[in-house]
Chains A and B, each alone.
Chain A
Amino acid sequence: MKDSNISENDVITQPVKIAARNVQVYYGDNHAIKDVNVEIDDKTVTAFIGPSGCGKSTFLRCINRMNDTIDICRVTGDIEIDGEDIYDRKVDPVQLRAKVGMVFQKPNPFPKSIYDNVAYGPRIHGLARNKAELDDIVERALKRGAIWNEVKDRLNEPGTGLSGGQQQRLCIARAVATEPEVLLMDEPCSALDPIATAQVEELIDELRQNYSVVIVTHSMQQAARVSQKTAFFHLGHLVEFGDTDKIFTAPEDPRTESYITGRIG
């Protein structure tokens, strides 16, 4: 499956950002992820698709070690970012998560002002030396989250008062503010209406300029629209991984074809 990395369309081949080898995840006795090998490129949008419960979100949460916060969860195998094993003892998961940002399924702004929401990451990591720098970081993040124009006049209002789509873009801006290298998105549009979804998808495409973006989605149309690479998960296995165009037009595995054509899932 790795050899499908060879690009067939106009995507410029990028260096590998995340490499996973033989990753197994257990929830207690339940073997949730079985033997996943994948290489995710830099400055590319990679989509994880698959039926519910197939392990795609679980695998996503391995990449920033969010699974560490769940007591019964155990991860084995290697995941490397830029050639460095993130499950190594030396790696501080807290530092790792600053480098690998995450956007969640449900918009989860903190019950603070819009400004404080975005400034949260930079503050705890000490990214700004003074107020002016912090203002600058917040403004840049909100602009990158494509929400600046909507909120610039009410930065001190609570983030929870925004609409669903605005909240999700605020959360993206919040994740971007810590200058991550990888952005993980766990079904970022599932709680949004079509207009907000379109705005977020447009934003994801722009974020590709700077980050490696990994997005879990239930919508195959969305995967086709925003991603260059697609991985299909089924029952904890990574069934097929390759260029999005190829997965959707000429899948190799019969299971992928069945899922795409709506026969399983």
Chain B
Amino acid sequence: MTQLFSSISASVLVLIVLGLGIVGYVTMRSRAIASGGGDARNLHSLPSYYGANAAMMIAIPSLLVMVLWMLLQPMVIQNTVIKLIPDQMVSEGSSVGLVMSDVRRIADGLDAAVAQGAMSGQEAAGLDAVETDVRSRLAEVGVALGSDVQAPILAAAQKYRLLSQSWRAAMVAVVLVMALAGLGFAYRQTDKDFRARNVVEAGVKGLLIIAASLAILTTVGIVFSMLFESINFFRMHPWQDFFLGGSWAPNFRGNSDLSILPLLWGTLYISFIALLVAVPIGLFAAIYLSEYAGPKVRSAAKPLLEILAGIPTIVYGLFALLTVGPFLVNIFGRGDNGVLGVDWMSGATSVLTAGLVMGIMLIPFVSSLSDDIINAVPQSLRDGSYGLGATHSETVRQVILPAALPGIVGAILLAASRAIGETMIVVLGAGAIARFSGNPFEGMTTITTRIVSQLTGDTDFASAETLVAFALGLTLFVLTLALNVLALYIVRKYREQYE
């Protein structure tokens, strides 16, 4: 029995449960009709609701238990198995995780060997690390091990196999029992007076709640994972240097200067230039589209403008690196060969390059949001202004824009938080040098760029130089979150005014 159950894989189990659900649906549907004397009008709910109720009772609790079981099982097994391994082995082999991955690997290898018939089940359970060369035996079946297997690890692996088999069998049994119990429960419920419709309604609501809370829990999970790694970072590196220091000079031998301030300066400077580009252009485009353009122009221009929002940012980054950067160098650099005959700019990557391109990227954000907000200004205000003999532009300038201002400010703040969090454009267009400088023709670097560079390549997750990425990410997250909250607060306050 155990053998049979443990051989059922998770996906087969899901199929079995779903099959049971379908069986439950069909049988309970016909049972409901029968309880109404063959006439569906005698039932409280439509017959399909009885079927759906049965399917729900069968599938949802059992699948939920299955998911939880599969999440918890590895932890429980690991806690049992790790006791078999002497402490000094763990400390030699650097970490529990590494030892456990060895154990899992050997266990999987034994499984594979048994599956291929190279070993019998008893043989696999009774292997002895001293008598048998486990490494070569496993290599025969295609499982390569890094080193010879030590006795405690082999014992642990065998224990691991045994435990996972029995736990898996227990899981299959529990899940099947729950599914059958659900079927029985639905069988007892199904009766012409049973309010299946209301129960299904509640079930649908529950499903929607689960979906919503999964999204929220994921966010919380992300924040916590960043928070824990950031705490680890601040254990290794003084927070005074991170928040108040003056230079960014990571050094993989340790003892590096890791201050966020030069990066924050670069981020804000580039974002500022981006907004300088995006706000006037986006706002004027929105005013034209919502106030002046005819319906034909509007229906053509608005989607065209929104195509800008659909371009992947890496493409903007290429545009910055290959087109805008050299173009700017041609104007502001190259000394006498340049357009202006000055030599202010030496390389294609600069604050100005990244800022300009990011500004272009943000235009549709500003214009689309502002357009909606300008359209939300009631027609009665426009009429009132025209009725007093104001021209179109006077109306826009003195009535519509002031009325829409809070919303537009919200739109700009949302764009700003996009700009601060933007990565690809600055990775390719802004350069890599962290410094405080007001010169827009110099390369500078941003928080996001540094996160990328600290986490790519060979990384050691026990060093401050790597973990600083999480602290940077968390700071960035807090910054953009604050901006978003502020923007949404302003936009919402404005909405209330006219609804």
Contacts and interface: CB of A to CB of B under 8 A. Distances in A.
Nearest to A123: B398
Interface centre among B381, B388, B402, B403 (most CB of A within 10 A): B388
Interface string A84-111: 0000000000111111011110101111
A125 B389 contact: yes
Contacts of B385: 110, 120
A98 B381 CA distance: 16
Interface string A101-137: 1111010111110000000110011000000000000
Interface stretch (A24-32, A170-178, A245-253): A170-178
A149 interface: no
A124 B388 contact: yes
Contact of A104 (B383, B389, B391, B398): B383
A160 interface: yes
Interface centre among B382, B386, B387 (most CB of A within 10 A): B387
Given A111-B403, A112-B402, A160-B497, A94 B390 contact: yes
Contacts of A174: 384, 388
B380 interface: yes
Main SS at interface, chain B: helix
B394 interface: yes
- Chain B interface extent, by class: 20 to 34
B97 interface: no
Interface string B395-406: 000110011000
Given A104-B384, A111-B403, A121 B389 contact: yes
A71 interface: yes
B383 A175 contact: no
11 contacts: A69-B383, A71-B295, A94-B389, A94-B391, A104-B387, A108-B383, A108-B384, A110-B381, A110-B398, A120-B399, A124-B388
List the 6 closest pairs (A to B, CB-CB), nearest first: A98-B389, A102-B387, A108-B380, A97-B389, A121-B388, A108-B384
B380 A101 contact: no
B142 interface: no
Interface in A131-174: 160, 171, 174
Contacts, number: 73
Contact of A101 (B378, B383, B387, B398): B387
B497 A175 contact: no
Main SS at interface, chain A: helix
A120 B387 contact: no
- Chain A interface extent, by class: 20 to 34
Interface string A64-77: 10100101000000
A130 B72 CA distance: 80
A109 B497 CA distance: 13
A175 B402 CA distance: 20
B126 interface: no
Contacts of B384: 104, 108-110, 171, 174
Interface string B266-304: 000000000000000000000000000011000000000
B404 to A, nearest CB: 9
A69 B292 CA distance: 11
A101 B386 CA distance: 10
A94 B394 CA distance: 11
Contacts of A104: 380, 383-384, 387
B402 A178 contact: no
Contacts of B383: 66, 69, 102, 104, 108
Contacts of B497: 111, 160
Contacts of A101: 387-388
Contacts of A125: 389
Contacts of B380: 104, 106, 108
B386 A178 contact: no
A99 B387 CA distance: 10
Given A120-B399, A178-B388, 13 more contacts: A66-B386, A97-B386, A99-B389, A102-B388, A103-B387, A104-B380, A108-B380, A108-B381, A108-B383, A120-B388, A121-B388, A124-B398, A174-B384
Nearest to A65: B386
A126 B394 CA distance: 13
A120 B395 CA distance: 10
Interface centre among A106, A111, A171, A175 (most CB of B within 10 A): A111
A235 B383 CA distance: 25
Contacts of A97: 386-389
B398 A120 contact: yes
A139 to B, nearest CB: 18
Contacts of B391: 94, 124
B388 to A, nearest CB: 4
B284 to A, nearest CB: 21
A97 B384 CA distance: 11
A116 B63 CA distance: 65
Contacts of B389: 94-99, 121, 124-125, 178
A110 B399 contact: yes
A71 B388 contact: no
Nearest to A109: B384
A98 B378 contact: no
Contacts of A98: 388-389
Nearest to A125: B389
A74 B294 CA distance: 16
A66 B387 contact: yes
Interface string A238-263: 00000000000000000000000000
B456 to A, nearest CB: 51
A38 B452 CA distance: 77
Contacts of B382: 69
Interface centre among A97, A108, A109, A175 (most CB of B within 10 A): A108
Contact of B390 (A108, A124, A171): A124
A23 to B, nearest CB: 20
B138 to A, nearest CB: 77
A101 B388 CA distance: 6
Given A94-B391, A104-B380, A124-B398, A110 B403 contact: yes
A69 B402 CA distance: 21
A64 B390 contact: no
Nearest to B383: A104
Contacts of A124: 388-391, 394, 398
A160 B384 CA distance: 14
Contacts of B402: 110-112
B34 to A, nearest CB: 57
